[in-house]
Structure 1
Amino acid sequence: MKIPYYPGCTLSTVAQDFDRSARQSIRDLGVELEELSKWNCCGTSFPLTPENVIGLAGPGNVLIQAMKAGGTVSTLCSFCYNTLRRTNNTLKSDVGRRDVLASFLETDGLGDVKVLHLLEVLRDQVGFAGVKAKVVRPLKGLKVAAYYGCMLLRPADAAIDHPESPKIFEDFLAALGATPVDWPNRGECCGSHLAMSETDLVKRLSGSILSSAQACGADLLTTSCPLCFHNLVKSQEAILRDEGKETVLPVIYFTQILGLALGEGPEAMGIADGVMGAGSVLKAKGLWPAAVPAGSSGGDA
C-alpha cells in the first residue's frame, strides 16, 4: 500500500528523526509513504480571519499537489495536519474563498482532498490489530502518556478522534504492548509559539503537563508535534536547571516507539540514550537491545 505523504518543513530540518522513524516503521507494516513531488510550507497556523484568503495559498498549494497524487495526503506533524485539514474543510464549505483562491492558484477542485494524520492511517487502513500482529518486541511494562496537545483535537471538525474523550493514541500504544496512562493533561496546550516570546509561560505550561504525566505513573511521554516536543524537552531542561528537580520524563515521537516495537534498533529510530533521552527508561524495562542486526524489522519477522 502506498500513501501520498507531506513531510513539512520541520521534519525536513530539525525533526528528521521523526521523519526517518516514520518512513521505516510504516514500511515495516507494508505501507510506503510517497513524498509529494512538490511541496511547500503549509503556513504552520490556519488563518482565522475570513478576509485572509492569501493565507490559504500555502496550504492550498499543498492540497493541489495532493490532488495530483490521487486526492489523499498523510502527514505527521500536528500543526501541518491541523492547517491542511482546516484549509481543506474551509475550501469545501466556503464557496467564496474557494473561488478566490482557485482563481489565484489557477486550479479547480479545491476542497476535495482527504487529509489524514498517520495515526488515522494506522487505525483505519493498517488497523491496530494489524499493527499488533507485526510487533516483535512488545513494550510490556512500559507506561506511556499519550500527549495529543491542541492541534489533533481542536477544532472538532479537524479532530482525529472524539475531541473530549479520544482514544486513538491510547489504542495505538496498547497495540504495541505498552500500558497507556490515564492522565488529565493530555489535551492541554504546551505554550506553542509563545516559546519565542514568553519562555516563562511555556515553562509553566509544559511543566504542568510533565508533572501531570509523572504523577499518573508515566515512564515516557509520546507526541506527534515537533513544537510540543521542543517545548516539553527545553522546559524540562530549564526546570531541572533552575528548580533543581531530579526526576526526568523522557519525551519521544510515537513513530520511534512504533519502530522499536516492530524490531527496529533504537539508534535507527533516533532514540536518544542519555539523561534526557528515553534510553535509560527502555534499558530499565529490558527494551533496549544490546545489538540489532542492520536492516532488521518487524515487517520481516
Structure 2
Amino acid sequence: MTYSYFPGCTLKNKASDLDKYARISAEALGFTLEEITDWQCCGGEYPLGTNEVASKLPSVRALANARDKGQDLVTLCSACYNVIKQTNDAVQNDENTSFKVNNYLKEDGIEYHGETKVLHYLEILRDVVGWDNVKKAVKNPLTGKKIGAYYGCLLLRPGKVLQLDDAENPQLIEDFIKAIGATPVIYAQRNECCGAYTMFEDKSIPQNRSQKILANAEEMGADFLVTSCPLCRYNLIKNKGDSKLDVIYFTELLAEALGLKEAK
C-alpha cells in the first residue's frame, strides 16, 4: 500500500535519520511512503485563533494533494501530525474555517472539505501492519533493553481530535517497544510536556521540565527513551543536565530491530 507522506522540515534537516529509517522500514513491512511534492512547513504549532487562516494553508494543500491521489496522508513528526490533523478537523467541522480556507485557495484551483484521512506512522504499524507482523519481521530483537516511551503532549492532545490513543494512559509506544523485543518502562512523566515551546521566553522552564522527565525515567529503570517528536528529542538532550539517558527516534529502533539500520 502507498501513502502520501508529509516529512516536515525538521525531518529534512535536524532529524534526517527519523525520515531515512522510516522509509526503509516501511518497505520492509509492506508499505510505501510517497513524499508529497512542493510541500511547505506546517508551522509546527496549531494556531488557536479562529480567524487565523493563512498558517493553515500549507496543511490544507498537503491534504488536498493526498486526496487527489486517493491516498491517506502519513507523517512521523508529532508536531506535524498534531497541526495537520487539527487543521483537517477544523475544515471538516468549522464552517468559518472551511469557507476562509477555500476562499484563499480557489485561485489555485483547490477546493478541500476534509476528505483525507490523517495517520501517524505508528498507527500504520498498529492498525495496518499489526504488532504480530512487526514481531515476525524483527531480525535483531532488542532483548534486555528497558525503554521508556516519551509521548510528550503533541502526539496525544487534544484527545478528542487526534484520537490516537488514551491521552492519559497511552499504550501505543509501549506496544511498539514490546514488538521489537524490548521491555517498556512505565514512568509518571511519559506524556507530560517537555516545555520546548517556552524556551524563548524562559529557558529555565524547559530545563526544569526536561530534567524532571529524564530523572523520573531513570529512577524507574529506563536505559533510554524513545520518541516520535524531533522537538522533544532536541529539547530533552539539550537540557539533560546530569542525566545519562539518550533519547532515540522510534524509527531508528525499528530499523535496528528489522536489521536495516545500516541500509542506505
Structure 2: 5+ residue runs without aligned partners?
none
Verify the 8 A CA contact 2:3 2:71 in the aligned structure 1: no
Verify the 8 A CA contact 2:139 2:257 in the aligned structure 1: yes
Q: Residues 94-109 of structure 1 correspond to what in structure 2 (within 5 A)?
A: 94-106=94-106, 107-109=110-112
**Equivalent-residue separation in structure 2 for 1:129 and 1:30 (angstroms):** 14
What is aligned with 1:284?
A: none
Q: Residues 130-141 of structure 1 correspond to what in structure 2 (within 5 A)?
A: 130-141=133-144
Which whole-Å deviations, capped at 9, do the CAs of 1:160-192 have from their partners, x for residues lacking one?
A: 111111111111110111101111111111112
Q: How far is the alpha carbon of 1:201 from its aligned partner?
A: 1.4
The reply to whether residue 259 of structure 1 matches residue 252 of structure 2 is no
Aligned residue pair count: 260
What is aligned with 2:38?
A: 38
What is aligned with 1:212?
A: 216
SS class of match (2:46): coil
**Equivalent-residue separation in structure 2 for 1:108 and 1:133 (angstroms):** 42
Tell me which amino acid in the other structure corresponds to 1:183.
Answer: Y
Tell me which amino acid in the other structure corresponds to 1:88.
Answer: N
Larger radius of gyration: 1
Q: Residues 223-242 of structure 1 correspond to what in structure 2 (within 5 A)?
A: 223-236=227-240, 239=241
Which whole-Å deviations, capped at 9, do the CAs of 1:81-121 have from their partners, x for residues lacking one?
A: 00000000010001221022112111223211101000001
Q: How far is the alpha carbon of 1:208 from its aligned partner?
A: 0.5
Which whole-Å deviations, capped at 9, do the CAs of 1:10-33 have from their partners, x for residues lacking one?
A: 101111111111111222212211
What is aligned with 2:165?
A: 161
The reply to whether residue 89 of structure 1 matches residue 89 of structure 2 is yes
TM-score, structure 1 normalization: 0.83
What is aligned with 2:146?
A: 143
Q: Residues 50-89 of structure 1 correspond to what in structure 2 (within 5 A)?
A: 50-89=50-89
Q: How far is the alpha carbon of 1:65 from its aligned partner?
A: 1.6
Alignment root-mean-square deviation, CA: 1.3
What is aligned with 2:25?
A: 25
SS class of match (1:26): helix
SS class of match (1:8): coil
Verify the 8 A CA contact 1:60 1:110 in the aligned structure 2: no
**Equivalent-residue separation in structure 1 for 2:51 and 2:4 (angstroms):** 31
SS class of match (2:199): helix
State which drifts further: 158-167 or 255-264: 158-167
Q: How far is the alpha carbon of 1:147 from its aligned partner?
A: 0.5
Verify the 8 A CA contact 1:46 1:83 in the aligned structure 2: yes
Verify the 8 A CA contact 1:149 1:186 in the aligned structure 2: yes
**Equivalent-residue separation in structure 1 for 2:239 and 2:163 (angstroms):** 27
Q: How far is the alpha carbon of 1:259 from its aligned partner?
A: 0.6
Verify the 8 A CA contact 2:42 2:55 in the aligned structure 1: no
TM-score, structure 2 normalization: 0.95
Tell me which amino acid in the other structure corresponds to 2:32.
Answer: E
Q: Residues 281-296 of structure 1 correspond to what in structure 2 (within 5 A)?
A: none
The reply to whether residue 129 of structure 1 matches residue 132 of structure 2 is yes
SS class of match (2:231): helix
**Equivalent-residue separation in structure 2 for 1:16 and 1:215 (angstroms):** 31
What is aligned with 2:245?
A: 249
Tell me which amino acid in the other structure corresponds to 1:32.
Answer: T
What is aligned with 1:290?
A: none
Tell me which amino acid in the other structure corresponds to 1:149.
Answer: G
Verify the 8 A CA contact 1:63 1:110 in the aligned structure 2: no
Verify the 8 A CA contact 2:40 2:58 in the aligned structure 1: yes
SS class of match (1:34): strand
Identity of aligned residues (%): 43
Tell me which amino acid in the other structure corresponds to 1:180.
Answer: P
Q: How far is the alpha carbon of 1:71 from its aligned partner?
A: 4.2
The reply to whether residue 222 of structure 1 matches residue 226 of structure 2 is yes
**Equivalent-residue separation in structure 2 for 1:112 and 1:150 (angstroms):** 26
SS class of match (1:259): helix
Verify the 8 A CA contact 2:53 2:97 in the aligned structure 1: yes
Q: How far is the alpha carbon of 1:193 from its aligned partner?
A: 2.2
SS class of match (1:48): coil
Verify the 8 A CA contact 1:148 1:224 in the aligned structure 2: yes
The reply to whether residue 189 of structure 1 matches residue 193 of structure 2 is yes
